[in-house]
Structure 1
Amino acid sequence: MKKWLIGIIVILVLAVGVLAWLNGDRVAEKKKIEEDAAFVVKLQDDSVTYHLSDLKEMGPDTFSAVLKTNGKDPINYEYEGVELRKVLSAAGIDVAQYDTVILTAIDGYSVAYSAEEVLQEKNVYLVYAREGELLETGENGGRGPYQTIVASDQFSNRRCKFAVEVEVR
């Protein structure tokens, strides 16, 4: 019985080690993207990378949205960012040809938006500043360098903080 238990433990430890090793390159790549404040737009096998200066050239908007976190009262903040539809259009993507837009965060968390809501004017934003200050990274207690906000969402529960990538399907 003990040999069987030891065998299972060894297999589990090896599996965890192999998975950590396989995932190590992806984590390092995502970390580099976060440090460089890069945002990657993917469509099938193609990708385009934007930096903060690129996003600012796309014609940013300033808008107000409510942030409601667990156990706290809702707070209205002023954000600065670019409509996600503009970012996708700049990458040569016609969102109307697709069904879903998926945002992925540095930690792997994903949020899916319908193409229709992304195409609505002044609705889905890729945000880089709040109250005039650039969003901090997660290591510094922030929600950035980028975050998506659905302006029409009154409960702020469909945001993707630490956003680093968008894919259209």
Structure 2
Amino acid sequence: MNKNTKILIVIILLLIAIATTAIFFNRDNIEASKKLNDNAIFVLIEDGEERATFHMAEIQAIEEVDFTATLRSSGSDPMDHVYTGVLLKNIFTHANISLEGKETVIVTAADGYTVAITMDKFLDDDNVYLAYMMDGKLLGTKEDGGSGPYQMIIRKDPFSQFWCKFAITAEIN
């Protein structure tokens, strides 16, 4: 074996070791995320500290509304859908979490995907929703081929690129 081949083998083994270690240390987070998704639990976090946990029935009781949003995804034409959900800012208010002096809201999905929302977009009326139904049907879980049980939708996002399927937490900072 020449020197370059040995270096390549060492690099590959190092990458495998790093990936294995990352999976090992992240398994608790993955299991916790799956539990939140399966139980339709949504968690609010303020400045790094868990402040409130909601089940779907509790969220539905907070000023539930139907709203229309246009879903745009690659490979298909834009489609208008009627979603049912709650303004995300109303969920924070219901949990007695102050919105004043905050800069961002970060929504995290069960698969680790995150979306950061500036406070001006977040506080804008009729804009940032936590949805759980589309066209009269529950969103379903990832395993069911759905996009929920919760999906954060920014109605005024012209390309739907900042929506967050499988949403499980929202953190305000």
Which TM-score band (shorter chain)? over 0.9
Instruction: Report the Cα distance in structure 2 between the residues aligned to 1:155 and 1:66, rounded to whole angstroms.
Output: 8
2:35 is equivalent to residue 32 of structure 1: yes
Letter in 1 for 2:130: L
Instruction: Report the Cα distance in structure 2 between the residues aligned to 1:4 and 1:116, rounded to whole angstroms.
Output: 51
The residue correspondences of 1:17-96 to structure 2 (distance < 5 A) are: 17-43=20-46, 44-96=48-100
Label 1:117 to 1:7 Cα distance change in 2 as closer, same or farther (>3 A).
closer
Label 1:144 to 1:4 Cα distance change in 2 as closer, same or farther (>3 A).
same
2:121 is equivalent to residue 156 of structure 1: no
How far apart are 1:6 and its partner, in Å? 4.7
2:155 is equivalent to residue 133 of structure 1: no
Label 1:114 to 1:9 Cα distance change in 2 as closer, same or farther (>3 A).
closer
How far apart are 1:73 and its partner, in Å? 1.1
2:90 is equivalent to residue 107 of structure 1: no
2:99 is equivalent to residue 98 of structure 1: no
Label 1:7 to 1:66 Cα distance change in 2 as closer, same or farther (>3 A).
closer
Question: Any conservation in 2 of the 1:124–1:149 contact (CA below 8 Å)?
Answer: yes
1:119-149, Cα deviation, whole Å (9 max, x unpaired) = 1221110000001101011111111010111
Label 1:14 to 1:77 Cα distance change in 2 as closer, same or farther (>3 A).
same
Instruction: Report the Cα distance in structure 2 between the residues aligned to 1:26 and 1:62, rounded to whole angstroms.
Output: 33
Instruction: Report the Cα distance in structure 2 between the residues aligned to 1:67 and 1:9, rounded to whole angstroms.
Output: 41
Q: Which structure 2 residue ranges, 5 or more long, are not aligned?
A: none
Instruction: Report the Cα distance in structure 2 between the residues aligned to 1:7 and 1:99, rounded to whole angstroms.
Output: 44
Q: Could you tell me the percent identity over the aligned residues?
A: 37
How far apart are 1:12 and its partner, in Å? 3.1
Deviation larger for 32-41 or 154-163: 154-163
Question: Any conservation in 1 of the 2:43–2:50 contact (CA below 8 Å)?
Answer: no
Structure 2 match to 1:124: 128
SS at structure 1 position matched to 2:100: helix
Label 1:104 to 1:6 Cα distance change in 2 as closer, same or farther (>3 A).
same
Deviation larger for 26-35 or 10-19: 10-19
State the superposition RMSD in angstroms.
Answer: 1.6
